[in-house]
Amino acid sequence: MEQKSGLVITAHPGDFVWRAGGAIALHARKGYRMKIACLSYGERGESQFAWKQAGVKLEDVKAQRRDEAERAAAILGAEIEFFDAGDYPLRSSEAMLDRLVDIYREVKPAFVLTHSLHDPYNFDHPLATHLAQEARVIAQAAGHKPDPTRAYTAPPVFLFEPHQPEQCDYKPNVILNIDDVWETKRKAFEILAAQKHLWDYYTRVALNRGMQGGRNSGRAMTYGEAYQRLFPDIVEELK
């Protein structure tokens, strides 16, 4: 049986930890190959504490964030590929899009996790989402790098929770129970020294979503992650 896989397309290193670390760890534990495509190192706008050091240089911050992201991904059980597109602003290129299409076809993910469609506080995030969606569609095109032996089906896309969901028009319709992997996710938090001001915030978010998950399911649940499904779920019966 072919190994199942999941793909995470993230603008910055911290995003995949805060917003999707539970899903990554949970599916890795279930035997999925989890692949993270990290578009930037978050070196300009996502590294507040790193820039407080006297004399720090851009390359120093990039090296620190790459190291943190690699260690966090390893804790969660994922592999990570960096695009080094820069952030604040993040700008995509034809080469990035082409590589992402190849990743879709190589990994054949059962699902994709990426940012919300809108984020007035961070323009890098919806750009990453647009790139993720465009690559997903192009990967279906028979005429793009034609290969009659290739098997590929466009996967469902789940948008992970933005920092301020109300302002992002974000309405989650999936809550994932991450109780079994919460401690793993929390350990990944503690790798991200450049953003330690967010550790407690995202712990509270997980507790809030866990409370909501329990109330909506009637099942005991402490920690959760919220997702917005982008495409309809096709079912044989309603339940």
| Rounded-to-integer distance, Cα 21 and Cα 73, Å | 9
* pLDDT for residue 1: 73
Largest separation between any pair of C-alpha atoms in the chain = 61
| Rounded-to-integer distance, Cα 4 and Cα 51, Å | 39
Pairing of strands 33-38, 5-10: parallel
| Rounded-to-integer distance, Cα 114 and Cα 221, Å | 24
Q: Give kind and range of the element (H or E) at residue 5.
A: strand 5-10
Taking the CA atoms of 9, 14, 20 and 21 in sequence, report the sign of the dihedral they define: positive
> 28-83 pLDDT, tens per residue?
999 999 999 999 999 998 887 788 888 889 999 999 999 999 999 999 999 999 99
Q: Which of 44-53, 111-120, 139-148, 196-205 has the highest mean pLDDT?
A: 111-120
DSSP 141: -
Q: Which amino acid is located at 179 in the chain?
A: D
> What CATH number did the domain enclosing 131 receive?
3.40.50.10320
Instruction: Please compute, for residue 156, the number of CA atoms within 13 A of its CA located in the half-sphere on the CB side.
Output: 13
Query: Which of the four pLDDT bands, split at 50, 70 and 90, describes residue 2?
Result: confident
* pLDDT for residue 152: 87
For residue 177, what are the β-bridge partners? 224
Q: Which amino acid is located at 154 in the chain?
A: A
Q: Does residue 146 fall inside a structural domain? A: yes
Q: Quick check: 101 pLDDT over 90? A: yes
Separation of first and last alpha carbons in the chain: 29
Look up the domain containing 74 and give its range: 5-229
Q: Does residue 237 fall inside a structural domain? A: no
Are the C-beta atoms of 15 and 115 separated by less than 8 Å? yes
* Percentage of residues in the chain having pLDDT higher than 70: 100
Provide the token pair at 213: 């998950």
* Percentage of residues in the chain having pLDDT higher than 90: 88
> 10-28 pLDDT, tens per residue?
999 999 999 999 999 999 9
Which of 120-129, 181-190, 192-201 is predicted least confidently?
192-201
**Coil, strand, or helix at residue 81?**
strand
Q: Does residue 49 fall inside a structural domain? A: yes
- If one counts the domains in the chain, the total is 1
Q: Does residue 234 fall inside a structural domain? A: no
Which pTM was predicted?
0.95
Query: Which of the four pLDDT bands, split at 50, 70 and 90, describes residue 224?
Result: very high
Q: Does residue 238 fall inside a structural domain? A: no
CB neighbour class for 220 (10 Å; exposed up to 12, middle 13-18, buried from 19): exposed
Q: Does residue 236 fall inside a structural domain? A: no
Q: Does residue 235 fall inside a structural domain? A: no
